[in-house]
Amino acid sequence: MIKKYILAINPGSTSTKVSLFKNEVEVETKKIIHPIDILNKYTNIMEQYEYRLNLIKDWLVDININKGELLAVVGRGGLLKPIPGGTYFVSTPMIEDLGKGLQGAHASNLGAILAKHIGDLYGVNAYIVDPVGVDEFHEVARITGLKELPKVSLIHALNMKAIGHRRAKELGKTLEQSNFIIAHLGGGISVAPFLKGRAIDVNNAIQMGPMSPERSGQLPVGDLIKMCFSGDYTLDQMKQKVQGNGGLISYLNTSDGEEVLARINNGDNYAKLIFDAMAYQISKEIGSCAAVLKGQVENIIITGGLAYSQYLVDYIRDSVSFLAELVVFPGEDEMLALNNGVLRVLQGEESAKIYEDEVANND
């Protein structure tokens, strides 16, 4: 029997998406929904492991995938210790760190663990690709102005790296040979300068940079301190203000970009001001990335769900096109990005990394 498929597993908060790929073609996929009443039976994410695993195994039986047909299994990378980008073997130390939740609890922490079990069951290697905790910062990028608060790398690494690889291939080169500014525009916004394929800086998409549909982005720190100590808000309320109820929601009571654009088309000048402000802030962040790369920018790449907005893209293009050609890859495809990360390893384009070795090198 010929091994021909890569299985990709992407656990979310209320679902687990599974896809089967032959080369770069998705031949089977399913979004397995997890009802809230079932999830409420578990006190934490890790307790959901057996439940989700059995559903994946049942799906593989339903689509008649035999043991000899899988080439590899890849899971969504979770909240791991800071490591460089790339494709990683799932190892015991990685699973231990995910199980402990050292960097926080998140459904994606199950990705590697589920992939490892299925991989062992089918006798193939398990991998992760470009987890959220990718850290390729230059040391100078970590300095914030307050010693107790270093800047932390938090980036939409999976989609941004995948789009970088895609654009580099179009240009006849590798990502490691390229200098790009890549902006992922979604519910959260990451804008990063990529120097020879490495994201050497990035706005922390939760705490810094441009506002987004639901996040405040960078705020006036003095006024923020006063608000925190006013007695009017709890810690949880303040957290919700900046992540969840910030950005477009704070001003317009919606995070739906299409709704905001409809208001603008109907003559709502206030909606236009706020949406323009988000585009202005994104453009300014891109400009700062150009300074980091000392002007050596081959392309500015816009991706993510908001990249479908021609209004937003046009505003950004008008603001930054003097720096470099702007190209757009709207949306994101995490499953294909996971698959392609493993394909690059299997085809000899790059080598799989060892998590514990890269952690030691990063210390």
CATH number at residue 49: 3.30.420.40
- Parallel, antiparallel, or unpaired for β 179-185 and 299-304? parallel
Q: Report pLDDT digits (tens) over 290-303.
A: 999 999 999 999 99
Residues 323, 348 within the same domain: no
Residues 9, 101 within the same domain: yes
Those residues whose C-beta lies under 8 Å from the C-beta of residue 244, and which sit 6 or more positions away, are 214, 215
Residues 146, 99 within the same domain: no
Helices (H), 208-326: 221-228, 235-242, 248-252, 257-265, 269-292, 310-320
Q: Report pLDDT digits (tens) over 46-92.
A: 999 999 999 999 999 999 998 889 999 999 998 899 899 999 999 99
The closest of 139, 94, 128, 111 to 11, measured between CA atoms, is 111
The closest of 193, 237, 187 to 217, measured between CA atoms, is 187
Residues 90, 143 within the same domain: no
Q: What pLDDT does residue 322 have? A: 97
Average pLDDT estimate for 331-348: 94
Q: Is the pTM of this model over 0.95?
A: no
Q: Which of these ranges, 67-76, 102-111, 171-180, 318-327, has the smallest mean pLDDT?
A: 102-111
Looking at the structure of the chain, the number of domains it has is 2
The closest of 69, 32, 81, 68 to 53, measured between CA atoms, is 32
**pLDDT above 80 for 207:** yes
* Residue 134 CA, distance from chain mean position: 10
Largest separation between any pair of C-alpha atoms in the chain: 68
Residues 161, 248 within the same domain: yes
- Parallel, antiparallel, or unpaired for β 325-330 and 299-304? parallel
Residues 201, 310 within the same domain: yes
List the domain range (segments joined by +) for residue 199.
Answer: 139-332
Give the separation between CA 177 and CA 214, rounded to whole angstroms: 35
Residue identified by tokens 């941004």 is 160
- Parallel, antiparallel, or unpaired for β 5-11 and 15-22? antiparallel
Average pLDDT estimate for 88-114: 89
**pLDDT above 60 for 1:** no
Residues 217, 170 within the same domain: yes
Residues 160, 76 within the same domain: no
Residues 192, 98 within the same domain: no
Residues 127, 143 within the same domain: no
